Homo-oligomer: A and B are copies of this chain.
């Protein structure tokens, strides 16, 4: 022990001299922990409850792993399989053990990291490419380079923590046989993985950059920030998710991966699920750059978008903190995930110490065991925490923020939340769902976005990877609450076409909490057809809770069949239309997702306002939609052509309008009443909407009357279809009565019009 200490001291001295000599190296640790930070942490230990609790938990976890012994099996499995899960666990534990060594100053953790690193050194030297062949960029430890990059992002932190504990010779051996070849393999040997604008590449860039920072390897750092200069990739190649590997004029590297997919508002074009996934490498590498390359001012890059994006992401969650499943997204993922612990702590520490982030950290119940986690723990200890206020927001999409976007309308304390997607394609994880929306009441989905068709990391389900139903169902337009023309998906489901277009915001106005409105237009999903959807979240007297008014105006130069689905969740209570149910179930169609829908019933409107009500989670819901006598009504169930039982058997209602050029779909979705199976009381089980009438519908104006079923009062919603300026005055005559208002819309109560 004494001998080693001496030797260490000698190398430390040598290291210091080297720093002095070439200016490239630095003290260790320096990625997420700093020497000064470690000292502060040690001084506060025992007096920072949330930090102490996290430390205790992490220590117990790592101690248990140390007791279990090290296993670095020969790579063999897809995700969910033993070798995959073992190596994944190893890198997570390595990172934690490194941190424990720094904080607790207990050599056993350094020894454990060292032992495992050398096991990997021995394994990696002659390791062939992973035997599983499904990936467009196979890794070595894992079936895809992506997971190898995950490994390096975490392990470089562990290496940073034990850097000074290792001898120079040991470091050299590790760097020569493990880290440098590892970094090269996931970058120059796999440019199709590394040199893109994609969350995969972000992981790769961060991995290469972080190990580069620890090693003081300028070549790797440069490669991380700016990508590979000449990657030799052909333009137009695709990965196995169908995403482009290279497009004309493509940039690469970490900075490009900040510039391109993040909009100035901090919206990440792939959607919140992947933003969450990408946040970790974005922020942890940024933190390391901030510490080691402060001159880069990485947190100020693109007007501080990295920290803004944390706020955007938190706002893209429901009342339970679960992210809205836009595009490919596994439901249930939430801001309780480890990536968001990182995001919230870093955003707090390197941002402006927003006290609202502290309440999220409290909900998470843990902090990072590093400088930023300490800052959060201190903030909480000092009682600075404030409730996080989610707001109605409109987030632009695209590098310039002008490629459509995502709007969230919220009433009250997330009593009703509407998520409207009028964004760009969202790279390879995008869905063909222009102008779709989903609806939440607190944490309960009322109208659902299906999310992805995949069971992430569950090996039994296609190796934990994307299932083919993700393409044939989840991405298709009919899987979403938006318009389908002639049973084909938007852009014919062609990624190349979809990637060139985005919807256009018409206007967003959440200034009046009782009448919040967003609208957007889509002209490219079906050439020759323009869709203009307006969604209003309205709280009005005579309606128990807020409701959604949904106006979808379709204008086309050809006659088409239009399908407008509503994927409600829960048990059907009542329908005011006649329908038949078949003796045997047939799929609703043969392609574009229709093959996955069983036709459970077909109906015809009996009234001008068709109603369907259902019960979910103790509340009643009613959809009221204006219908004509030629409309068809379809009750559907997901699950046809699903031989592996990969899809949920959820219900849907589809309004079908055939042989039509121009038409406007007008609907109200309403929450009302309650039912408890304990008290068995049923309260306000009936809709408050008596009738929905389209009073005016021209190219210029649309006016809708919503009649209250109880008192006959009418709400009149009027809007301009062609001028969304907030200061423009409009005049409209309805049944001999004139209305005047300013701005794109107006809601008035009337008993007479």
Bound Cα distance from A680 to B679, whole angstroms: 37
Whether A747 is near chain B, meaning CB under 8 Å from some CB there, is no
Q: Judging by beta carbons under 8 Å apart, are A571 and B333 in contact?
A: no
| Shortest Cβ gap from A575 to chain B (Å) | 9
Q: Could you say which of A116-124, A401-409, A579-587, A732-740 contacts chain B? A: A579-587
Number of identical monomers bound together in the oligomeric complex: 2
Whether A355 is near chain B, meaning CB under 8 Å from some CB there, is no
Bound Cα distance from A455 to B676, whole angstroms: 11
Q: Judging by beta carbons under 8 Å apart, are A680 and B456 in contact?
A: yes
Chain B residues, Cβ within 8 Å of A586: 584
Chain B residues, Cβ within 8 Å of A455: 571, 573, 615, 675
Partner of A336, one of B330, B574, B635, B678: B678
Bound Cα distance from A332 to B678, whole angstroms: 6
Q: Judging by beta carbons under 8 Å apart, are B679 and A332 in contact?
A: no
Q: Judging by beta carbons under 8 Å apart, are A648 and B571 in contact?
A: yes
Q: Judging by beta carbons under 8 Å apart, are B457 and A680 in contact?
A: yes
Partner of A573, one of B330, B458, B572, B648: B458
Q: Judging by beta carbons under 8 Å apart, are A457 and B598 in contact?
A: no
Q: Judging by beta carbons under 8 Å apart, are B677 and A464 in contact?
A: no
Chain B residues, Cβ within 8 Å of A749: none
Q: Tell me what chain A mostly uses at the interface: helix, strand, loop, or mixed.
A: loop
Bound Cα distance from A459 to B583, whole angstroms: 27
Chain B residues, Cβ within 8 Å of A675: 455, 458
Whether A430 is near chain B, meaning CB under 8 Å from some CB there, is no
Q: Could you say which of A345-353, A471-479, A637-645, A691-699 contacts chain B? A: A637-645
Whether A392 is near chain B, meaning CB under 8 Å from some CB there, is no
Whether A168 is near chain B, meaning CB under 8 Å from some CB there, is no
Chain B residues, Cβ within 8 Å of A639: 600, 637
A653-700 residues at the B interface, CB under 8 angstroms: 675-682, 685-686
Whether A460 is near chain B, meaning CB under 8 Å from some CB there, is yes
Q: Judging by beta carbons under 8 Å apart, are A584 and B584 in contact?
A: yes
Bound Cα distance from A586 to B584, whole angstroms: 5
Q: Judging by beta carbons under 8 Å apart, are B571 and A682 in contact?
A: no
Q: Judging by beta carbons under 8 Å apart, are A682 and B637 in contact?
A: no
**Chain A residues engaging chain B, CB cutoff 8 angstroms:** 80, 85, 330-334, 336-338, 455-461, 464, 571-574, 581, 583-587, 598, 600-601, 613, 615, 635, 637, 639, 641-645, 648-649, 651, 675-682, 685-686
Closest CB pairs A-B (n = 10) = A332-B677, A572-B645, A585-B585, A460-B574, A581-B643, A460-B573, A458-B682, A457-B682, A584-B586, A456-B680
Instruction: Give 7 A-B contacts (CB < 8 Å), ordered by A residue.
Output: A85-B682, A332-B676, A337-B679, A456-B677, A460-B574, A460-B685, A461-B574
